[in-house]
Structure 1
């Protein structure tokens, strides 16, 4: 699966989240009737917070997640449900969008989680914010709640499990790994490096990135080399393959 098809898949996930509410059993329907999917459309923040915590409390084997950086201003650090889940042996793997590095509270939450045992990687092709419990239950956040009319959709279905976990594994394999050594050295992406990575992922040349940021081409190239070194990429091509960049 290439970058183009993954981008299309990101759009399909958003469309799925927007249409999933129509698959839920309507209120007042026959309770003995089998639903097309086990679906809950979440419209209240308090309910969303409860589901997000409950899924982690009920996790027995694994939690995978895409973190698109879509957190409200009220976000204050790591989820309280994660430390006890890690302590009982639940395996956490999270793919972060580079935008997470731009907010101090999110960055510190990520650092805390990794030091407690979470495996973390960074990719520019994170589709949206998604939580996956034991590869059987999913919480998909809407990227545009004002337009969709809901905050998230919780789904449990075996066919969807295979589809979404496969997507996660594809992106995980190409994402940039974050090690505890790198985090301890504070060699994280700066805000400018995040912007460079984002612009390059959109297919811009070094010259176009330099113009967009008001810096020299040499500065852009030097920053790319720093990102390569910090994430263990031996070449710009490898960096592109690891992060989903459209390398030219």
Structure 2
């Protein structure tokens, strides 16, 4: 496939459009025509860059003639078609390869199912050794999901855009995400689409691990911060059902998200309580940031705001003031202590 030119907008686009309009009016231009530079009032290097850009975009092509390199204008529709055609051919080739891979490997599926189910102690809980295996298993689960999808802290290998695609084909979507996504413009756009398609989204202060459940048939428990396996996939129905019950309990206490909500509207207090609890648990800024789903810089801004609202000058004082004011859930504090969650 031929190379695709850079398509992002830039200030030089104005120069390119001016040169293209001039080429259309004249019926063509040459790269050595000083009159072109004078007519447009552009520096020689700006005209040269614009001509090169237009050639890359197939909006100018070489024409017959002498006296410099003649360039004739091409319709944008034709130029677009000439750029898109190789991409379409490559996509067709890749789809053919994908079908061949699926057909070839599907021959092994009956042997896998028969031997896995008869293997003693297998338990249908499998470790995912790396990102490639995880991506493949998630792709298959997404394609097979027909009724309901429930996820805690989606993202990474399963972005919101792919979840929206499931909603488009009628899968009931429920998502539990961190409060931080309420202030993320890109995430808000995807969540708006999911809600418009009938999905339900709620938010909480922190989610330590990704949990993804497909049709009550399979569940993924993912760990994006520990060395070794990146998680497990569970196919044992009773275990998936138990995990689903736990998820339902967490869902009940989460805050509903509406596309009309602005920023942290309605969840500021819960977010601040979560931050104080994590501070009092002795977690580092990096670990707290992971729990909240924000960058370390944003996390530190939140911490500074919490300390200011409590008139505290240190993490320890903030925790002590919050406990004395009955703002903290001491049971949650014990569960989040560094000995239990040192990795965040």
Which residue is equivalent to 2:274? 198
Which residue is equivalent to 2:309? 217
TM alignment of 1:170-189, pairs within 5 A? 170-182=249-261, 187-189=262-264
Q: Secondary structure at the match of 1:181?
A: coil
Which residue is equivalent to 1:51? 137
Question: Equivalents in 2 of 1:47, 1:54: separation in Å?
Answer: 11
Which residue is equivalent to 2:150? 64
Question: Equivalents in 2 of 1:211, 1:99: separation in Å?
Answer: 11
TM-score (norm 2): 0.44
Q: Secondary structure at the match of 2:160?
A: coil
Q: Which has the larger radius of gyration?
A: 2
Q: Is the counterpart of residue 91 in structure 1 residue 177 in structure 2?
A: no
Question: Equivalents in 2 of 1:121, 1:219: separation in Å?
Answer: 31
Q: Deviations over 1:5-29 (max 9, x none)?
A: xxxxxxxxxxxxxxxxxxxxxxxxx
Unaligned residue ranges in structure 1 (runs of 5+): 1-29, 221-236
The alpha-carbon distance between structure 1 residues 138 and 162, as it changes in their structure 2 partners (threshold 3 A), is same
CA drift of 1:156 comes to 0.7
In the alignment of these two chains, the number of paired residues is 183
Question: Equivalents in 2 of 1:150, 1:95: separation in Å?
Answer: 24
Question: Equivalents in 1 of 2:169, 2:272: separation in Å?
Answer: 39
Which residue is equivalent to 1:15? none
Question: Equivalents in 2 of 1:198, 1:211: separation in Å?
Answer: 11
CA drift of 1:143 comes to 4.3
Q: Deviations over 1:92-132 (max 9, x none)?
A: 11111234456554444333323332210011353410110
Which residue is equivalent to 2:237? 158
CA drift of 1:41 comes to 1.9
Question: Equivalents in 1 of 2:302, 2:183: separation in Å?
Answer: 21
Unaligned residue ranges in structure 2 (runs of 5+): 1-114, 281-299, 313-325, 334-344
TM-score (norm 1): 0.58
Aligned partner of 1:110 among 191, 200, 218: 191
Question: Equivalents in 2 of 1:104, 1:152: separation in Å?
Answer: 29
